[in-house]
């Protein structure tokens, strides 16, 4: 939405909207902007969530660093529960997922539990207050 459109929607001038957005960016409330991508159209129709757990918990907890070079991993969250991290991956086929799981296990020395997404009803919804 342009600053002009935001101004119309909020009853503020374009310059006032611009100033407020800049302040939100400076305060770290707005971290960036992005596009909504149709992953199927760019050849990545399969989404999966992979929960990982270190095989040897006494080793250093450096899984995110070890996995950063795998471009199929879109997101990595540290989580509470039986697993240590939850990965969101985007890939082409189940066969590619199988290969990725093997690389994840090897690179990070972890066990995995995988959930394949069948449908996405909504994602990246705006926060409402």
Spatial contact of 3 and 17, defined as CB atoms under 8 Å apart:
yes
Residue 129 confidence (pLDDT): 66
- Percentage of the chain beyond pLDDT 90 is 87
Region 30-48: mean pLDDT is 93
- The 3-state DSSP class for residue 45 equals coil
pLDDT at residue 64 tops 90: yes
Contact predicate 77/127, CB 8 Å: no
What backbone phi and psi angles, to 5 degrees, belong to 114? Answer: -115, 140
* Domains within the chain, CATH numbers bracketed: 1-34 (1.10.10.10), 39-117 (3.30.70.920)
Q: Say if residues 72 and 100 touch (Cβ distance below 8 Å).
A: yes
> Strand, coil or helix: what is 109?
coil
> pTM to 2 decimals?
0.82
Q: List the structure tokens of 125.
A: 């919804």
Q: Strand 110-116 relative to strand 73-78: parallel, antiparallel, unpaired?
A: unpaired
């Amino acid at each position: 939405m342009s600053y002009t459109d935001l101004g119309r929607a909020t009853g503020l001038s374009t310059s006032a909207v611009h100033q407020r957005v800049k302040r939100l960016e400076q305060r770290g409330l707005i971290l960036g902007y992005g596009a909504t991508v149709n992953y199927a159209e760019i050849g990545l129709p399969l989404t999966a969530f992979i929960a990982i757990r270190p095989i040897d918990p006494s080793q250093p907890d450096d899984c995110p660093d070890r996995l950063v070079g795998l471009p199929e991993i879109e997101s990595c969250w540290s989580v509470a529960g039986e697993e240590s991290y939850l990965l969101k991956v985007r890939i082409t086929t189940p066969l590619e997922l199988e290969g990725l799981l093997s690389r994840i296990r090897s690179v990070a020395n972890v066990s995995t539990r995988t959930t394949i997404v069948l449908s996405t009803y909504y994602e990246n919804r705006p926060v409402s207050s």
